[in-house]
Structure 1
Amino acid sequence: MEQEQLLKELLSKSDRSFTLLYDNYSKSLYAVIFNLIKNREEAEDVLQEAFVKIWNNIDSYNESKGRLYTWMLNITRNTTIDKLRSKGYNNSQKNHSADNFVYMLEDNSKTVNKIDAIGISRFIKKLKPKCIQIIELLFFQGYTQQEASEELEIPLGTVKTQNRNCMNELRTMINE
Structure 2
Amino acid sequence: MKITEDNFIEELKNKNEDALYYVIDNYSWIIKTIVSKHLFKIQDYEEECINDCLLGIWNNIDLYNEDKSSFKNWVGGITKYKSIDYIRKYLKDSENENIDDLFISNRKDNLDILLELEGEEEIKKSLNMLSKRDKKIFEDLYIKGLSIEEVSKNMQIEKSNLYNILSRGKKKLKNNLNREEL
TM range (shorter): 0.5 to 0.7
Is the 2:12–2:61 Cα contact (8 Å) retained in structure 1?
Answer: yes
Q: What does residue 125 of structure 1 align with?
A: none
> Against the structure 1 CA distance between its residues 66 and 153, is the aligned structure 2 distance closer, same or farther, given a 3 Å change threshold?
closer
Aligned mates of 1:99, 1:144 — CA distance in 2: 21
> Against the structure 1 CA distance between its residues 100 and 82, is the aligned structure 2 distance closer, same or farther, given a 3 Å change threshold?
closer
1:17-38 deviations in Å (ceiling 9; x for gaps)? 1111111111221110111111
Matches within 5 A, 1:14-33: 14-33=16-35
- TM-aligned CA deviation for residue 42 of structure 1: 0.6
Q: What does residue 49 of structure 2 align with?
A: 46
Aligned mates of 1:9, 1:153 — CA distance in 2: 38
Is the 1:33–1:43 Cα contact (8 Å) retained in structure 2?
Answer: yes
1:86-111 deviations in Å (ceiling 9; x for gaps)? 3xx1044566536879xx9xxxxxxx
Gap regions ≥5 residues in structure 1: 105-140
Q: What does residue 81 of structure 2 align with?
A: 78
Q: What does residue 122 of structure 2 align with?
A: 147
Q: Which has the higher contact order (CA 8 A, sep 6+)?
A: 1
Aligned mates of 1:73, 1:153 — CA distance in 2: 21
Gap regions ≥5 residues in structure 2: 110-115, 152-182
Matches within 5 A, 1:66-105: 66-86=69-89, 89-93=90-94, 96-97=102-103
Aligned mates of 1:98, 1:82 — CA distance in 2: 23
> Against the structure 1 CA distance between its residues 149 and 17, is the aligned structure 2 distance closer, same or farther, given a 3 Å change threshold?
closer
Is the 1:33–1:76 Cα contact (8 Å) retained in structure 2?
Answer: yes
Normalising to structure 2: TM-score of the pair? Answer: 0.57
The percentage of aligned residue pairs carrying the same residue is 22
**Residue correspondences, number:** 132
RMSD: 3.4
